[in-house]
Amino acid sequence: MICLDRLMLEEMVLEAKKCSVAGEVADYIPALKKANKDTLAIAVFEGENTCSIAGEVEEKFTLQSISKVLSLAVALMDRGESTVFSKVGMEPTGDPFNSIIKLEHSPSKPLNPMINAGALAVTSLIVGDTMEEKLGRLLSFVHECTGNQNIGYDEEIAQSEYETAFLNRSLCYFMKQHGVIEIEVEELLSLYTKQCAIEVTCEDLAKIGYVIANEGKHIETGRQVIPLHIARVLKTFMVTCGMYNASGEFAIRVGVPAKSGVSGGMMAAVPYGPGIGIYGPALDETGNSIAGMALLEALSKRYDLSIF
Ligand SMILES: NC(=O)CC[C@H](N)C(=O)O
């Protein structure tokens, strides 16, 4: 336990919030433009009845790229490592999350599951007879990790992304040509945009982070929600690729496994420690929450959370 001081957490939020002015909310998904750039919220979950919160914690936001960690968990449980990693690699990339450039390299498989191309390939592997069933698998996984059965997806944001996802469409068609994706592209995009639009609060995120942090076990139900070796794979990808092409600097400054999304959400999983959920929609040029990163850096330094 890091025994968080609530007042200290509130002060840290106020301090980190100042960075928001230098960021911008994502606008390439039209519905995300509505976010308030000044918002900053955090939840730190340390097990049963110990969740410290500060900032606008009642705000809901969509997972966006944070969902890549969850779809990877489900695909690995459904298909096993050898199938999943025959379609997607394990190496970080210095390119932006939506880059197409490395796809053309032989053997034409995306570099890792945390960039869009890799995540689309991973989502295509989730088992289910219909897209609804596949989405249902993902949602029940989220329900199980959070204990919150009310979590669903934001239809407006999903639709807004589906209608404008021309880059993701081109990634899919390229991968379909090369046999990385075997299912129908429009169906995959419809599933992927709903997966990205799953709507949570910081507290929900912190609880998911806690499961990943603590060997995949759920503290309240005692259930092994994620097999141990898969929880380790998730944390490793979060360290090496979780903040896209800012992952190296983030590892040095903050040093905890974390995953960000263009909604401004961030989920951190400190091994054998807390799960952390942050929401701050002002982004820097790499697509990471600018105030969220400052806040996590301050928290990591204050409570010595770096794993290195
Ligand atoms: N970086 C992100 O959060 C990207 C997720 C977003 N849904 C996309 O595919 O573009």
Q: Domains of the chain, with CATH numbers? A: 6-62+198-303 (3.40.710.10), 65-196 (1.10.1500.10)
Ligand 1: nearest atom to the Cα of 261: 3
Length of the chain: 308
- Separation CA 283–CA 287 (nearest Å): 5
* Other residues' Cβ atoms within 10 Å of the Cβ of residue 272: 9
- 196: Cβ below 6 Å to ligand 1? yes
> Is the CB of residue 280 less than 8 Å from the CB of residue 20?
yes
Annotation says 217 is catalytic: no
Q: Which of 28, 29, 33, 65 is the pocket-test mutation for ligand 1 (most atoms within 8 Å of CB)?
A: 65
- 288: Cβ below 6 Å to ligand 1? no
| pTM recorded for the entire structure | 0.97
Burial 203-235 (b: 16+ CB within 10 A, else e): bbbbbbbbbbbbbbbbbeeeeebbeeebbebbb
pLDDT exceeds cutoff 90 at 95: no
Closest CA to 282 of 268, 264, 266, 294: 264
Annotation says 82 is catalytic: no
- Separation CA 256–CA 251 (nearest Å): 7
Q: Which of 17, 68, 102, 259 is catalytic?
A: 68
- Provide, rounded to the nearest whole percent, the portion of the chain with pLDDT above 90: 89
Annotation says 65 is catalytic: yes
Structure tokens at 301: 């330094």
Q: Where are the alpha helices (DSSP H) in 214-266?
A: 228-241, 247-253
- Separation CA 151–CA 153 (nearest Å): 7
- Please report the ipTM that was assigned to this predicted complex: 0.97
CA distances from 278 to 16, 108, 222, 233 (A): 12, 35, 25, 22
pLDDT in tens, 247-270: 999 999 999 999 999 999 999 999
Q: The tokens 């404008």 sit on which residue?
A: 164
Task: Tally the C-alpha atoms within 13 A of residue 46's C-alpha that lie toward its C-beta.
Answer: 11
In the three-class reduction of DSSP (H, G, I as helix; E, B as strand; rest coil), residue 176 is classed as: helix
Secondary structure (DSSP) of 43-103: EEE-STT-EEEEESTT--EE-GGGHHHHHHHHHHHHH-HHHHHHHS-----SS-TT--GGG
Q: What is the mean pLDDT of residues 282-287?
A: 95
pLDDT in tens, 61-72: 999 999 999 999
pLDDT in tens, 134-173: 999 999 999 999 999 999 999 999 999 999 999 999 999 9
Name which residue sits closest to atom 9 of ligand 1, judged by CA. 116
Task: Tally the C-alpha atoms within 13 A of residue 125's C-alpha that lie toward its C-beta.
Answer: 28
Mean of all residue pLDDT scores within the chain: 95
Q: What is the mean pLDDT of residues 8-27?
A: 96
